[in-house]
Structure formats: structure tokens, C-alpha cells
Amino acid sequence: MDSEEYSESDSSYEDISDESDSDEDTLDAARNWCRIDQENLAPPPPRFPFSGNPGLNTRMDGSSPIEFFCIFFDDDIVGYIASETNRYAEDFIEKNDLTPSSRVQKWKDVDSSEIRVFLGIIILQGIVQKPLQKWYWSQRPLLSTPYLKQLMSEKRFSIIMKFLHFTNNETIDLETHPQPGLRKVYEVYDAINRKFKSSYVPERDVSVDESLLLYKGRLGCKQYLPKKRARFGIKFYQLCESSSGYIWNSLIYTGKDMPLWNESPKYKSTTNIVMTLLEDLIDKGYCVTLDNFYTSPELAELLLSHRTDVYGTLRPNRIGVPEEIKKGTLKKGEIIGFQKGKICVMKYMDKKPICILSTVHNTVIVEQDKKRKKTHGKSERIVSKKPQAIIDYNLTMGGVDKADQCLSYYPTVRNQQKKYYLKIFRQILNQSVWNSFVLYKKNGGTMSHLDFRLQLVEELAKIYGESKHSSQNTTSSDRLNGRHFPSHIQPTQKKKAPTKICIVCSQKFNEKGQRVRKESRYQCAQCNVTLCVTPCFEKYHTVENF
């Protein structure tokens, strides 16, 4: 069959080979299949009893967005990020020969409160999107976002982003590391992923699919998926709740070092991926929906042995599929099916042949209202006929797609981000906000996704913004009050009379829209900023928004 028959899902992957019937084992594996009599259909196989207890595992006393967000980014994780960022900045300053005028020389350690304000700014940038990061602090009326300047200066935000780190480089051992391809961000990724699983128990129906994070830099595990919108990037395997899109578990593809199920040598790669994502949900009566990249008789038999149901689209060349499914031709509307125990494999001809595997369906075809077409002013009812398995597949397969769609509305990942581990961290942050919103809605919240994010940023700024640092080593009240005197900038070995850009003049733009560059030999030693003696020195210390 032509591969275009499966355009509904991603069918071209370079990292995991396809499973085809290239030997005699295929016929041996297919001998136990029994043809289903369409005229005398038996009832569909019963589902396994569901023993899960869906809902939040964490007791929530309030309903504010920041409480749900702090389920994932708690004090331990935020404190860990702050300590590793300070460690990395200290190592960088010690190992590099920096000039006296380098901005790195003015580095001040971050604390947990400032990291939370920093995260709030990243979330806000996903809502108020601008092509260049520096535009968020621009003074031009067309580009101005005054609120961000109140939270943190551009220089402080940039230098925190420069030194943002998640692991101690000196302690990394590639031979013993659980996933060397993610060594730069593994600790935070693993901790957040475990919190996704421990904070919530999903409903019975879950789905597994891929998500691609755009990245075109140099990276060994970078993937090319032509049917994804990003096409190039870092691939996430995700398990989501079908109804809400809650991201319950994820696995980042890093090649051969990707951790898989304990019994991985026995099974194909696609089977191991699904079992790795489902490992904590098996033997509880869950039902997982898959696309044709994962679905196979091998996986179905393994899941059934762990009291877990499965259904999804199927590639007809999978090992163990009956020959009639592979080679049989049908007319439009016809269906054939084969049963082996609880596993049913069917082929239905719509506009093109569709193959389905299910452990909870038979080959029954049901009528479904598709549209109501108006002809000559009269409403005409249009009825479509489809197998029940396809209808259920369309209802439960969209968990990952729903999460991806909602994350794309307010992206925290910037295309200009060059370091792959910072991109992954930004994506994890966005996923945490989304999961926080899902839990908020399940707890009775009424805000929309956008309002939830806006209030989250406001709460992060209000609660933690008071202890923020400033790259100018002074607060607004100190700048406008107190005693300030102009002094010469101290000479260096290269220049006896050095000059720097005036901080007030640099906020102006000329007629061509270019930033004004005016240098001065004077500074305010207390504020540690360069200023023209007149009128900038007076303006800086008397006008709140100069």
C-alpha cells in the first residue's frame, strides 16, 4: 500500500526503523486470526475494570493560579535553579579574563524570589509577543512595555538568561548519567516530569503521540519530521489525558541513550516507548489511543497481559497482521475484520483504506450525523457511516494535539534561543503553566487560559517582585532621593579619559528610528551609571520615568 494512505499521522521517522513482514515468521504469527462474520457480529470485547482514582493528589486550600503553578515549581526546584545559576556565574568569572568594563563584573547572585520574577517575565513574553527581546524594554511609544521595566531591567534579565544553569558541569559523568544527551537540563526536567505524574491521576482514556520543539542548531538528537509544523527540532514523546490534554508523562528523544522500559531488549522500539510512558499506569484498566507509528499486535498483546486496553490506526505491514488485511481490496463502505482473543484488526474503505487495531471494539458500523446541508432553503440531513472504532479514535486521540495547540498560543520558547537546554527549559516551563491551568479548571476554576496566565504573572510580580535586584545597584526611591554627585569615570590602562554611553541619552531615538549614542566622561558613583553633567544628571535623579 502507498504510504500516503496514512497522512493523518507521522509515518516517516529516521530514528526508529519500520516493522515489515520480511520473513516467514509473519505467516506463523497470523495463523491464529479468525475472520469476523459481519452478518452475525458478536458483542465487542469488554473493557478491563478501571481501578484508578482520577483527580488531584495534592490538597488545594485556595484557587489562585500561583498555588497550582507552585505545585511544579516549588521552593526546592526554584532554589536549585538559583544555586546552580550562581555557581555557573562564579565559575565563568573565575575562568575568564574579563575587562573592567564587562557587565559580567557587576554580577550579583540571584535568589529564589528573583528567579520567580524572571519566570514570570518569560511567561509574559509568551503573551505579549515581540520579535526581539530588547524591544520589551524599549522606550519607543510603539514598542514600550512599561510593566516589564518595573519588574526587572533589561541588563539584569539578559545576564540572568546568560548564566541560567541547571547542573554542575564539574560533576557530570557521561558513563553513569541516566541520559547523557540531556545532561545540561536533566535534573530539572526529571523533577518536573515526576511532579506531573505524582500531582494528578488521569482519567481512563489517555493518548500517546509526538510533539516537536523547533530547533535548527547543531544537536546530535535533532529530528526531521516533515509532517510537523516545525519540521526540525527536539522530539518529545508524550502521554496526555485524552479529555483535558494534561501532560502526564513525557520522554525526550536523545538517541540510543534514551531510557526505556526495563524489558526493552525483548521488544521493538515503538513498543518500548509506549510501555515506558505507561509504566506507572499498567494493570489498572487504562485504555490508550495510539497512531499507526506505535500500534502493533505485539504491543496489544503486551498491554493485554498488563490489563490495559488499546486501540488506534495500524500500518498493514506490521508483523502479525493477517494477509487479507495487507492485500485485500474493498469497495467504498466495505469492512473486513479478524479476531484473535481480545484483539480485533479491521480494514475499512472510506476515501482510502483505513486499518484499525482495537481490544475494545468489533467491526460494527454506525450512522453519524455529519452536517446539515441547506438546498433551496431547506435543511437536508447528511448521514455518514463509520466503524465505531474510528469514531472513538477521533474522540480520544487528540490529547497531545490539544496540549500542543494551547501551548502554541502563548509560546515561552524564542526562536533566537541558541542553547538547546534553555529551549527545553522554556518548553518545560510552558508545559507546567498549561498543566497548572488544567488542574485549576478541574478544581472548579472559571478563568480562561489567557486570564490564568495574566493573573499568574501578576501574582509572581506582586509576591516576589519586592526583593528583586537591579543591575544599577539602586532602587527607584534611592535614585530619586538621597545625595548624588557627579564624578569622573576612573581611568584604565588603555584610556586615561574613558567615556561611556549616557543612560538617559540612550533612551532617545533620532528621526531614522535609531537609538541615540551619546558618551560622557561623568558618572554617578552612588548609582553606578554614566550620565551627562547637564541635563541628564538632574533628569535621572528627579524624573521617575526619564
Query: Does residue 364 come out as left (phi exceeding 0), alpha (psi in the -120 to 50 range) or beta?
Result: beta
Q: Are residues 263 and 326 in the same domain?
A: yes
| Selection from 317, 292, 296, 181 nearest residue 227 by Cα | 292
Residues 6+ apart with CB under 8 A from 308: 48, 278, 281, 282, 283, 284, 285, 286, 287, 288
Q: How many domains does the chain have?
A: 3
Report long-range pairs for 500-505 (Cβ below 8 Å, ≥24 apart).
500/101, 500/530, 501/530, 502/530, 502/531, 502/532, 502/536, 503/529, 503/530, 503/531, 503/536, 503/540, 504/531, 504/532, 504/536, 504/539, 504/540, 504/546, 505/532, 505/536
Q: Do 271 and 248 sit in the same domain of this protein?
A: yes
Domain contains 302 = yes
Asked if residue 1 is part of any domain, the answer here is: no
pTM: 0.80
Residue 16, pLDDT score? 46
Domain co-membership, 270 together with 385:
yes
19 — pLDDT class (breaks 50, 70, 90): very low
- 377 lies in some domain: yes
The residue with cell 499521522 is 9
Domain extent for 390 = 26-53+202-409
473 beta partners: none
Does residue 231 share a domain with residue 162? no
Residues 35 and 102 in one domain: no
Please give the mean pLDDT across all residues of the chain: 86
The answer on 374 and 331 residing in a single domain is yes
How does pLDDT run across 163-211, given as a tens digit for each residue? 999 999 888 888 889 999 999 999 999 999 999 999 999 999 999 999 9
Instruction: Give domain status of residue 19, yes or no.
Output: no
pLDDT above 80 for 444: yes
Q: Same structural domain for residues 286 and 147?
A: no
418: cell is: 541558541
Same domain for 161 and 99? yes
Among 38-42, 64-68, 476-480, top mean pLDDT goes to 64-68
pLDDT at 513: 58
Q: Are 195 and 327 contained in the same domain?
A: no
Cβ–Cβ under 8 Å, residues 203 and 51: no
Do 196 and 207 fall into the same domain? Answer: no
Residue 491 lies in a domain: yes
Structural domain includes residue 21: no
- Residue 370 sits in the same domain as residue 419: no
